Chain A
Amino acid sequence: MNRNKIIHIPDLISIGIYSALYFILVGVAEMLVVVIVPGYSYSYSPAMSALMTGAVFMLMVAKVPKFGAITIMGSVLGLFFFLSGLFPFALVPSVVAAVLADVVAYIFKYKSKIGLLLSYVIFSFNTTGPIIQLLFSPDSYVANLKERGKDASYIQNVFESISNYTGALAFVSLIIAAIIGGLFGQKMLKKHFIKAGIV
């Protein structure tokens, strides 16, 4: 392998910093969603964060066009979910999405705009870990409600209709938001960073 294609310590430091920014943007996006949209809005937070983090992703890929950068950035988020104990199973989807996004970007040699956009759409799925857990394992809620004397079939109906409907909508909106966010990120990259000579 070419020496320029291996990740070195300067690259690691860049990746760490962009990951921290990415992480904060995801946090802000989730907070915004919970505050702005009423009801069970948590499932739309990946869409919001996909909308906001495009510029960070594009800048990092432009700065560190090496295999492994996207993987580390995506895994950091999952690892935080795991380490903070909030959503331990969120580690798996985030790492899988990040590695897939890295492979796609690698095939396009980290240059092609459409390739990077596709990679970003796949990468956006790494925030869906907590949702997958909360949406697709409502059994514990059901069991808990049953203990409080609710009619079982009634609860089942409520939960199933809500979770199917929100699940599909959340993923469709996520893909649309990721495309918009990625295009926005590429535009910002061209408008500011290439002009300033940072990339």
Chain B
Amino acid sequence: MKWRFDPRTILYLLIISQLVLFLDGSILMEIITVIILIIPFFLTRQLYWGIGISMIYILQLLATFFLLPKITSPILLYPLSMVSNGFRELIPGMIVGIYAIKFTSLGEWISLFKKWHFPKFFTITFAVFFRFFPTIQQDYQQIRNAMAFRGIERGVLSFIKQPRQTFEFILIPLLMNASQVAQDLTIAALTKGLSMPGKQTSLIQLQMTKFDYIYLTASTLPLIFTLGGFL
């Protein structure tokens, strides 16, 4: 099965997940919300994410209910309760975050922002920001190789022995290259007419499918039940 969420649905799911966190209702509401949110991973055969997040969530639940009551030492209690309780409450938001970043292309977001007439300073910064991440990764690999080639000590030990120098040797080339890329991107963008006045069209046409509508309703149900006092 091949379908993906419309960006608008993801924004709505984001609000829902924040409301679930904010209301801090019963554990049942949280579990149902997580189950509803996690189903699309399995439907679209993203088993890696689906199973991974389910495992983490179940472990956190088990830790909260069976492990935490047995621990008395405050030094152990605080970090553990943060991992199992604090981070568990963030899981619904994280799932939506994965949809937003991993399974929605940058073009779809930009298309939505254009449709909603977001200001240019927002859309351009947003697009460049996400476009630049793969470049940073590549640059970093190149810098590490160059350091090895010149016989400069690298790895964990070098950070302990001379943290300032190692940090400088990695950061400065990254910044140098960033400045270069900024110039290149500016030239490319201006060539493509980014600074032209007037309306710009978009290649991607956003459309709500019936799955979007199903999810809009399904994700709201636990909230309604909680507010109505059923859960």
Contacts and interface: CB of A to CB of B under 8 A. Distances in A.
A122 interface: no
Contacts of B18: 85, 88
A14 interface: yes
A76 B126 CA distance: 8
B136 to A, nearest CB: 6
A39 B132 contact: no
A18 B125 CA distance: 10
Nearest to B82: A40
Interface stretch (B49-57, B170-178, B199-207): B170-178
Interface residues of B, number: 58
Interface of A: 7-10, 12-21, 23-25, 39-40, 42, 52, 55-56, 59, 63, 68, 72, 76, 83-88, 134, 140-141, 143-145, 148-150, 158-159, 162, 184, 188, 192-193, 196, 198
A144 B133 contact: no
A140 B179 contact: no
B14 A13 contact: no
From B125, B128, B178, B189, name the one whose CB has the most chain A CB atoms within 10 angstroms.
B125
Contacts of A87: 90
B64 interface: yes
A56 B176 CA distance: 11
A159 B81 CA distance: 11
A40 B79 contact: yes
B69 A16 contact: no
Contacts of A85: 14, 17-18, 90, 92-94, 96-97, 100
Interface string B56-92: 0000000011001100001101110110011001101
B63 to A, nearest CB: 11
A18 B136 CA distance: 11
B129 A20 contact: yes
A23 B89 contact: no
Contacts of A76: 125, 129
Given A12-B128, A192-B172, A20 B85 contact: no
B85 A140 contact: yes
Given A16-B132, A55-B171, A85-B18, A7 B178 contact: no
Interface in B151-191: 164, 167-168, 171-172, 174-176, 178-179, 181-182, 185-186, 189-190
Given A12-B128, A145-B68, A83 B186 contact: no
Most chain B Cβ neighbours within 10 Å, of A10, A140, A143: A10
Contact of A12 (B65, B101, B124): B124
Contacts of B81: 141, 144-145
A83 B133 contact: no
B47 interface: no
B195 interface: yes
A7 to B, nearest CB: 7
Contacts of A184: 164
